Amino acid sequence: MFYAWKRSKYKLWCPFLGNFLVRVQYEDCIKDCDKAVERGRELRSDYKMIARALTRKGTALVKMAKCSKDYEPAIETFQKALTEHRNPDTLKKLNDAEKAKKDLEQQEYFDPKIADEEREKGNECFKQQKYPEAVKHYTESLRRNPKDPKAYSNRAACYTKLGALPEGLKDAEKCIELDPTFSKGYTRKGAVQFFMKEYDKALETYQEGLKHDANNQELLDGVRRCVEQINKANRGDLSPEELKERQAKAMQDPEIQNILSDPVMRQVLIDFQESPKAAQEHMKNPMVMNKIQKLVSAGIVQMR
């Protein structure tokens, strides 16, 4: 209880701060919190009480915030409170204030017209093969309009050209998330997966895109290229270097790791080597054959 404080002069500052908040007298609350902190330090009072006063000041500042910049003093105050005492409630208030500030910043910065202009500037840079500059314009476009699938698609293409494949994949997936019917998202994602030599995954991506745009030539060409690479592995036409590279890549794939660690699949692979009759039975199981095909495409298993 506040009234149990030993320092009588200091204890009078804080009992009514909660009431100030209720009455929405935020400025008065902030002044009293400042006085409480000042007096508390003079009297070397419990750091928890100082932290409480700072937390209430931060709460009042949050209540007064009308734009993103208004959250800055509140965030600073909560941080100071946490240096006095790491209270979970204060930490939550800090996280909430930081999130509110970020959300408001996005709202204040949102401008679809400028976003379109930046995307067009990016397109011009892309045509001139100025890919880093194009990325900057697409990034600014997305800051102005984070819901534009075209900007994600175009930036994914830039990242692919720059060899930043993980970033390109992330943008392509975001593009698809925003607009599952936009075929460019699938061509971008499939291209990244193809360059990463994940031919099975790329094939699945192109096929998924064809469900939305059955006659898209880029998607059809992507399917053809993937099938060629998969068949090349099936025929055992990979060079020793290609096989070694593909196997090393595959062993980093969580899906391949799961297949190889599956006791059932381990027994299937043994049967394919030692028991032709059992192998024939396994081949009747579509799920098993799908996993075998993934291993073949990855160069882990070779069919003779």
Per cent of the chain over pLDDT 90 is 55
Architecture of domain 23-109: Alpha Horseshoe (1.25)
Beta-carbon contacts of 40 under 8 Å, excluding residues fewer than 6 positions away, are 10, 13, 49, 50, 53
Considering only CA atoms, give the Rg of the chain.
30
Output 226 or 277, whichever has higher pLDDT. Answer: 226
Give the dihedral of Cα atoms 137, 139, 143, 144; nearest 10 deg: 30
Q: Over the stretch 146-163, which tens digit does the pLDDT of each residue have?
A: 999 999 999 999 999 999
Tokens of 83: 């240096």
User: Average pLDDT of the chain?
Assistant: 86
| SS3 state of residue 86 | coil
Q: Start-end ranges of CATH 1.25.40.10 in the chain?
A: 23-109, 112-235
Write down the pLDDT at residue 303: 60
Write down the pLDDT at residue 236: 67
Band of residue 280 on the pLDDT scale cut at 50, 70, 90 = confident
pTM of the model: 0.65
Give me the CATH topology for the region 245-298: 434 Repressor (Amino-terminal Domain) (1.10.260)
Band of residue 234 on the pLDDT scale cut at 50, 70, 90 = low
Looking at 32-36, 121-125, 180-184, which range is the least confident one? 32-36
Domain spanning 112-235: CATH 1.25.40.10: yes
Q: Start-end ranges of CATH 1.10.260.100 in the chain?
A: 245-298
Is residue 104 classed exposed, middle or buried when 0-12, 13-18 and 19+ CB atoms within 10 A define those classes?
A: middle
Q: Over the stretch 80-138, which tens digit does the pLDDT of each residue have?
A: 999 999 999 999 999 999 999 999 988 898 999 999 999 999 999 999 999 999 999 99
pLDDT at 233 over 50: yes
